[in-house]
Amino acid sequence: MINLDVFESPGLLVYPDRVKRNIAKAIEMVDGNPSRLRPHIKTHKTKEVNDLLLEAGINKFKCATIAEAELLALSNAPDVLLSMQLIGPNISRFQQLKEAYPSTRFSSIIDDIHAAEALNEAFEGKNTGVYIDLNMGMNRTGIRPEKAFDLIQQLRRLPHVSLRGLHAYDGHIRDKEFQEREKHVNSDFVSFYQLIDQLDTKDLELVVSGTPSFLVHHKNPLFTCSPGTFVFFDAGYAALFPENTFEFGVEIISRIISKPTETTICLDLGHKSVAAENPIDNRVRFIDRPEWILKSQSEEHGIVEVGNSSAYQIGEIVTMVPYHICPTVNLHSHLQVIDGGLWEVKARNRRLCY
């Protein structure tokens, strides 16, 4: 029995054995071939989870910031894709990163010839690898697949930029019913298949899949899948996955600090401790008390409707899982390891060295 009394609140508790099982499950889903995974580390942002992924045989990674890319290099990750189009000072930061960690192969994404030309100019006398970022319907970044062939032809005329693959992120595909999600993937990826039919993809990596569409894409042996949330999982994705697929690797710990009314309690859980992007009643799932409802939050306080507050004591521990784990982790400097120690959320910083 774990004694939760020793852990600080509000905080995050990480269960390393659950994380390991989640990693093993993801590898199992790609037929036991870890080379078909390129996990996104935006969820965990910790060297310790990077190391667990590497120990499991995964050697390709995706990230969203230069700090995350550097954290991967500190773990001696062999291959890192920075899934952000580099513009402005980030180009020189990326150059410095590549020079500082020559044993890691870094790549970035592009969806615009002018961005590619800027990279080509910056890497004169050297070379940098890129993936074409495709807009699969999320309408956030990327070029439509039907327009990408011309961009690829233009790119191949640049001497200092090399095409390494296609990046087709589909985070908008979140249909609750799996059959509908599968249809959505198949519909949105028609243009993707038409593009690859025009290309010699023998030496190109095809990177696809957000976490929800991983349930579809993992079946295609041509694809490298890049889920991220699976390592920790959360209440939002649990609603989109079959039961017992992944486990909650991280839980929020909080304590009752007041009982302001006969029907409410106050937790030390403000919106500085859990991602506040979702409606107030859909930010956390209370593990042992699913009927509780989070009613309001301020910076350090969370008011919860519990029915009868006299049934609970000041100081009582409450655990929950967040709806969205990625930005929740980013609010905390450390994860408290359930069997002792701390994992620093190092890449929540925008800059490590470079």
Task: Kindly state whether residue 25 falls inside one of the protein's structural domains.
Answer: no
What pTM was estimated for this model as a whole?
0.96
- Let me know if residue 238 belongs to a domain: no
Query: Which residues lie closer than 8 Å to 190 by C-beta, 6 or more apart?
Result: none
Q: Residue 84: which residues within 8 A CB-CB, separation 6 or more?
A: 64, 65, 90, 108, 109
Judgement on whether residues 64 and 99 belong to the same structural domain of the protein: yes
Residue 158 tokens, joined: 């640049």
What was the pLDDT predicted at 178? 94
Same domain, 221 and 289: no
Residue 263 lies in a domain: yes
| Domain final residue pick, 176, 194, 227 | 227
In a domain, 354, yes or no: no
Last residue of a domain, one of 199, 227, 255: 227
The pLDDT of residue 1: 76
Let me know if residue 234 belongs to a domain: no
What residue has token string 């290099």?
73
Q: Which of 195, 227, 259 is the last residue of a domain?
A: 227
- Domain of 126 in residue numbering reads as 33-227
Residue 114 phi, psi (nearest 5): -70, -40
Alpha helices in the chain (DSSP H): 16-29, 47-55, 66-74, 90-100, 113-122, 145-155, 178-188, 190-198, 214-217, 235-238, 325-330
Q: CA-CA distances (angstroms) from residue 36 to 128, 226, 261, 321?
A: 23, 9, 53, 29
Residues 39, 114 share a domain: yes
Say which CATH number the domain at 338 has: 2.40.37.20
Q: In degrees, to the nearest 5, what angle opens at C-alpha 186 toward C-alphas 198 and 221?
A: 70
Cα 338 from Cα 205, distance rounded (Å): 38
CA-wise closest residue to 132 among 160, 159, 169: 169
Residues 164 and 221 occupy one common structural domain: yes
Whether residue 268 is found in the same domain as residue 340: yes
280 shares its domain with 152: no
In this structure, the answer to whether residues 123 and 58 fall within a common structural domain is yes
Q: In terms of domains, do 123 and 62 share one?
A: yes
Neighbour count for residue 141 (Cβ, 10 Å) = 16
Tell me if residue 163 falls in helix, strand or coil: strand
On whether residue 27 sits in a domain, the answer given is no
77: in domain? yes
Say whether both 73 and 179 belong to one domain. yes
168 by DSSP, 3-state: which? strand
What residues of the chain score a pLDDT lower than 70? none
Q: Work out how many domains the chain is built from and give that number.
A: 2
Name the one residue in this structure whose structure tokens are 């590619």: 116
Domain identity same for 71 and 206: yes
- Say yes or no: 45 and 162 in one domain: yes
Cα–Cα distance measured from residue 239 to residue 332, given in angstroms and rounded to the nearest whole number: 25
Is residue 195 domain-shared with residue 276, that is, in the same domain? no
**Distance (Å, whole) CA 95 – CA 90:** 9
Whether residue 14 is contained in a domain is answered as no
CATH number of the domain residue 70 falls in? 3.20.20.10
